Amino acid sequence: MTRDALQPTARWYVRATVSVAVLGTVWCAAHLGAGIGIEAVAYLFVPAGGVLAAASVRHLTRTGRGLDPVAARFWRTVLVAVVLVTVGYAWLAADMLAHPDEVRTRSMPVPAAALAAIGFLIAVWALARVPVVASRGEQRWHMVLDRTIAFLGCTSVLWYAGIAPMLTAREPWSRQAMLLVGLGLLVAVGAVTKVSYLAGGPVDPTAMRFVAAGGGVPAGAVGVLAVQFGYIASVPAQAIVMPLAPVLIALGAAAQGRAVHRSRRDPDPAGMVLPYLATILVGVPLVAVAAGAPLRWPARMALVAAVLVTALVMVRQYLAYRENARLLRAAQDHQDRLRYEVSHDGLTGLANRALFRERLTAALAAGGPVAVLLIDLDDFKTVNDLLGHGAGDRLLVAMAGLLRAETGDDHLAVRVGGDEFAVLMTGNRADPQDLAERALAALTQPISEHRLLVRASIGIAVAAPGATLDSVLRDADVALYTAKQRGKAGIVRYEDGMGEPVLAHMQLGGELRRALDNDEFRVVYQPIVRLDRNWVIGVEALVRWHHPTRGLVSPADFIPAAERTGLIVPLGRFVLRETCRQAAAWLAEFGAGALKEAGLNVSARQLHDPDFVSDVATALRDSGLPRERLVLEVTESGVLRGPQISRTLHELDGMGIRLALDDFGTGESSLSLLRAVPAAIVKLDKSFVDGIEIDDGRPADARQAVARAVIQLAHALGLDTVAEGIESPEQVAALLELGYTRGQGFHLYEPMPADGVSRVLERQRAIEARAAKEVGVRRC
């Protein structure tokens, strides 16, 4: 049944029980005022209201759809309790109607009292089974103490003001009546204590309060009437006071019905106040005795309860003190942990940039000697790419441990960010050069669980008098940058004037974007020739920067800046498109046999770009250059940058594009690369060509061993070879003798613009035409 259908019926039961109570009040007034009816009639109103209250609870349990199982169990138990109490009072009414002359003095039949008492006890049991706020450990003991204090305090007052006066009254009531009054008060105290600790449901707190009032209000009123008026009070008690209990039970059932479709509320805040209120109430008997009330045994029992409550309050306060102390310690620990996390690196545990700047500022303000070391791991990105970020993190942790061991407690080791560390050194005994040398010496041994050999570049800056935080960090940055420019794995100490070339180099990187937008880059081509007849069969594209004020900028200057800034990707895209366009134009002008290949260098940064493969496909499609004519040259160090590059290379190979290993022989894994990389061409590095023609009396095989090994390995694997950096005819002769057929170098052709290559191709076409004509003349 829906809520809308439930409430009218629940309201009807409330009105019906109210009607019974009103009828009892009217009858009592008529009886006491005009003597209408016999006193035994007063006993009919309680069972009549009880029947209606039981019906309202039964209606809730049977038709209240959505009622929580715990709430349904509670109200079913309350229903049993109400039925038993109703039966007991119906029995009493029948007994009084059978003995109308003994109404004021006749006791409740024992079976009837037993039924009612069992009903009250079942109600107490139902209240005990209602769940309260979940708690564990000390919190659970806090709740138990609070509930015990509240229960004893309220019970003490009710005993002193309610039950005890009935026991000592001039006209004492029967034991059955006092037992039922006491149980009614027990239900009230239990419900009040329980409702203060409900966790917002499943039993509605308002409904629980009505149940508490249903036991406590009639019982308390009956006790007052018994003490003040004696036996004559039995009629108004039965006709006016006790019929209120069914009314309150029906109101509780209606409140639970309204709560079925209402969201649960937070626990009642009164639960925090109730123990304090009970502590005040338990003092009422003490105040009464102090005011002159006789110290009889009921008062003594109340005094014992007051002592117990006081002892429990002391225990509760001690537990609260312990809990507060624990919370304060936890808050302090949390604050310390937050302070540590704010000032330290989460991965390595070293001081972070914020603490570094704070300590450096304080050291500079103190005026003593201050030195800063900036340490950067060389090629750390390669570790991440090849072994994964987990291995990279463990390497950083190992590096942090190494710095701790070298710096000790005298200096501050810092992780600035990424793979960059720092050390702040203060005091007259600080020797930054010695520390830097010890750190590099420690890195000559493998570190981390992967047993990696890593290198580092270190920049040192010693604070000059009056130096600021920013100036010291800038000097250390310049020194580190210079160390990396000088070949890495080195130590550079900042000196005056060192920053100008670094600044110029950084400004050069800033000008690259403008140069790309202003079309300041040009592509030149170095021919690749057949060594036996000096015949051009291909070209390698190279990029040149024509700066408007600096003139021709060397690739050795701007290519590293392009790599560092990421502009190598758009720059490489420009070279790719221009090379494809120009090569297709040469093929269209001079024929398919004029040029077998057009190559260009590709950086690892470009191969990491997810759009690189599509850029190559677009350049080929737009230019019309056959895919087999394009050669992409990659360095050995470039292809060792992780699985992404390997996937890109295999995808390019699958497209029919030829790959060349540039500067072959200078890397660390040349032989394994020939199997791992789908290369079609091997380009022998210039360092192995230099001096290959020199005859200094040593066996030729000793000087030419590498070149011979490369050509033999390439032939065995079916790869083409190109010798780079040829600078003399003697080198050409030596290479031909070793079996090399193709090469490039300044002796053969210097890099030239596209029209220079066109003139070479035109000359070769003329030579071929004359040769063909001569062959034709001979045949004739």
Q: At what angle do helices 353-366 and 469-485 cross, to 10 degrees?
A: 120
* Secondary structure E strands in 150-204: none
Residue 333 exposed, middle or buried by CB count within 10 Å (0-12, 13-18, 19+): exposed
Say if residues 176 and 92 touch (Cβ distance below 8 Å). no
The C-alpha atoms of residue 573 and residue 615 are separated, in whole angstroms, by 7
The one catalytic residue in 39, 420, 578, 724 is 724
CA atoms within 13 A on the CB side of 502: 19
Residue 632's closest CA among 605, 603, 608? 603
List the beta bridge partners of residue 601.
633
- Match 């290949």 to its residue by tokens: 597
Contacts of 268 (CB under 8 A, 6+ apart): 195, 196, 197, 198, 205
* Secondary structure E strands in 201-296: none
Token code pair at residue 593 = 């046999």
Say if residues 572 and 516 touch (Cβ distance below 8 Å). no
Amino acid at 179: L
Please indicate whether residue 511 is annotated as part of the active site: no
Contacts of 57 (CB under 8 A, 6+ apart): 75, 78, 79, 82, 249, 253
The C-alpha atoms of residue 167 and residue 190 are separated, in whole angstroms, by 23
- What per-residue string of b and e applies to 67-78 under the rule 16 or more CB within 10 Å gives b? bbeebbbbbbbb
The C-alpha atoms of residue 630 and residue 649 are separated, in whole angstroms, by 14
List the beta bridge partners of residue 684.
664, 723
Q: What is the dihedral of CA 187, 191, 194, 195, to 10 degrees?
A: 180
- Residues belonging to the active site: 724
